[in-house]
Structure 1
Amino acid sequence: MVWMDFHFCAAPGSECAFTDTTCVAPIVALCQLNLVHLDFHLATDELLYNIASKVDALPHLCFLRVVTDPDPLSIDAVVAVTRRCPALETLGLRMSLFRDGASVPEQKAPFRLRCLSIEARDVDARAFTWLCSSSVGSLEHFTVETSCEEDVSDVAWIETDTAKAALATLPRLAIRSHAKLCVTHIIGFTPSLTHLTIDMDSLPSLNVLPASLTSVHLDGWYRERKFLPEGRRVAVRIVRDIELRYCSGM
């Protein structure tokens, strides 16, 4: 794991003012043939661009998570790094704004994702399409948390042909903090869904859940009988987040 708190790389193409022991870019370059797991906290565009400029490839990297807060992160910077990761299977993006998708490559992504997690205020359709472009049939778990009101246009980024194809065979979906209308819209693109994780307050009408669903994981407090549909063999497992967080001492 890499923690990059209060570090600002120089502009792309410039040498970082930090030494090799305090900036992660030269460390990543040194270990590029061996790295399998990278977890960046408080990343910046400059950091990702500098890493991309220093490495030829990250041939064995299978896990990458990029977190930025509060400044927005450009999808171009994410693309600059991930296009050097042919073995990437798990990608997690947590950023304030998933922007600048206009300049993503026309070529497909070089990796086939199994797990994709996106937490962003807004998601760009072209950027999402590129991330999924080589993952049709391989994507197994998708987690999404974005700003969404009662307007399906807020999740229009899932309506491209590539996104639809990737979600069509998706077995596991986790949706956080979405309005019911948007949740219903997203679930409509997942006919093969078997496992669903969702906030209790966002649970849509039971008749819109796919017939393939076998497990529902609800986050929040509720009375059991209210959410158990008759005639449906769906195992409902509840996680009381507040209780787990404050009563377990964690």
Structure 2
Amino acid sequence: MCGRFAMDQTVDELITEFVIITGEQPENWTPDWRSGYNIKPTERIATVFESSRAGEASVRRIEGARWSLIPGWAKEQKLKYPTFNARSETAASKPTFKASVASKRAIVPARGYYEWKTVGKTKTPFFISDAQQPLAFAALYTWWRASPEQEWMLTTTILTRQAVGTLAEIHDRTPVTLPRHMHDVWLDATVVGDQHLVDAAVDASLDVGLAPYEVAPLGRDADGSELIEPLFPGSSALPGA
């Protein structure tokens, strides 16, 4: 799963990394998402997606989205189950996510994410990242509103897959992290997505090299760069590995 992550890139860096097409210069933007080192579900997070109108070319955008997807058919914002993550194995068939798999796929940029290794009653936090580049989580999105009188709300969820290798020693789930060559494929608004596309994203994510290292416990309201500092400097592997 992915329940906390860090994203400290500037608008300029995100535009350079994800080739955002905009009508304004980055310095004129006021980002409507939260950057930081302790981002939680339901907060607004940077979300990259493509949209198109009939007869027009797709435009790639970056906007703030509520991190917990609300399906278009939902009557209320609060659901009976968490939707900040979507299992890749079933996303294309679940009523909550299947419409988004088909036509509303996104990328959530991240510096890295946190996961906790549980042994008995002890939970040890790890930060997981790629030291060479930011991460691109495969995501889904919706536009939702409770009634025609209200404004549309952009909402998103991060896809997860079965963890393998070292990551599986920490937790059995991990975000689907897209390599560069899958960015355009995943975001292409002209492609009708299905389980085969999701599976291709999962397979590609296995080639992304992620390294975990232990960090200090996260305070709920803490949000400084010290949160991603290694607890044991010079070590990027699991203790005893």
With normalisation by structure 1, the TM-score equals 0.25
Greater strand proportion: 2
Greater helix proportion: 1
Tell which has more relative contact order, 1 or 2 (C-alpha 8 A, sep 6+).
2
